[in-house]
Amino acid sequence: MIRETVAVGLLQCNCTVLGDEGSREAVVIDPGYEIPRVLGLLEKHQLTVRQIVVTHAHIDHIAGAHMLQQHTGAPILYNQADLPLVAMMEVQAGWFGLTVPTVRPPDHSPADGERVAVGGIEAQVLHTPGHTEGSLCLHLPAESLLIAGDTLFAGGVGRTDLPGGSHRRLIASIRERLLPLPDETLVVPGHGPVTTIGVERAENPFLA
Ligand SMILES: [Zn+2]
């Protein structure tokens, strides 16, 4: 599997491209900004986007999804529990002084445990509310990979002071859904460096 993760936009959201080497099909996760750069990565690997997945509807993760869809025709998946945040896009833009992006309701709102399959790539959706009501992670067991959004960071956890946030639910989501994953699982968080489940279970001060 091809994996490219790039930090995009003012808030440096990690946008990840996962590509199947056989079928040349891809899923793009959190195309917040810098869509020309993301399209360049797809072109470099000769990949066709079949799915766009957004881990949660904060502006830095979702702002570019509509533009990427216009270029690729791929459906956009995110949890409809985050629609109140979509309705607040102008407010969100105001928090950071950003332009208000076009954000539409999801083409599909995946259920907890739902399988997302593109080419030979298979991921499972884990609903992990806390950072936002609709926050989700993508787990790829065959790749020992977790795309964690803003739920879990290297040495940190997502902020919960924004609307829809709950620290208690965030910690419960991490403990119940993420920490049981195998130690060697590579975690690609929504911002900052990668880590592993084993390291976070042993060392993350928010989970002590
Ligand atoms: Zn966020």
pLDDT in tens, 98-113: 999 999 999 999 999 9
pLDDT for residue 68: 98
Q: Residue 49: its pLDDT value, please? A: 98
CA 44 – ligand 1 centroid, Å: 29
Question: Can you list the positions of beta strands (E) in 81-171?
Answer: 115-118, 121-127, 136-140, 145-149, 152-153, 156-157
What span, in angstroms and rounded, lies between the C-alpha atoms of 32 and 9? 7
DSSP 3-state of 152: strand
Q: Does residue 151 contact residue 99 with C-beta atoms inside 8 Å?
A: no
Contact in structure between 179 and 137 (CB atoms under 8 Å): no
Pull the structure tokens for residue 96. 């950071």
pLDDT digits (tens, 9 = 90+) for 156-179: 999 999 999 999 999 999 999 999
**Ion ligand 1, residue ranges at CB < 5 A:** 58, 150
- Ligand 1: distance of its center to the CA of 180 in Å? 23
Ligand 1 centroid to 95 CA: how many Å? 12
CA of 178 to the centre of ligand 1 (A): 17
What pLDDT shows up at residue 191?
98
Please state, in angstroms and rounded to a whole number, the distance separating the CA atoms of residues 34 and 102: 15
Q: What mean pLDDT do residues 112-137 have?
A: 97
pLDDT at 79 over 90: yes
Judge whether residue 200 has pLDDT over 90: yes
Determine how many CB atoms are found less than 10 A away from the CB of residue 48: 16
Tens digit of each residue's pLDDT (9 = 90 or more) over 138-160? 999 999 999 999 999 999 999 99
pLDDT digits (tens, 9 = 90+) for 179-189: 999 999 999 99
- Summarised one tens digit per residue, pLDDT across range 42-73 is 999 999 999 999 999 999 999 999 999 999 99
pLDDT in tens, 3-20: 999 999 999 999 999 999
Contacts of 117 (CB under 8 A, 6+ apart): 123
Task: Let me know how many helices (H) and strands (E) the chain has, helices first.
Answer: 7, 13
Ligand 1 centroid distance, CA of 23 (Å): 32
Q: Could you tell me the pLDDT band of residue 208, with boundaries at 50, 70 and 90?
A: confident
- Write out the H or E segment, with its range, that includes residue 189: strand 186-189
Q: What's residue 104's pLDDT?
A: 97
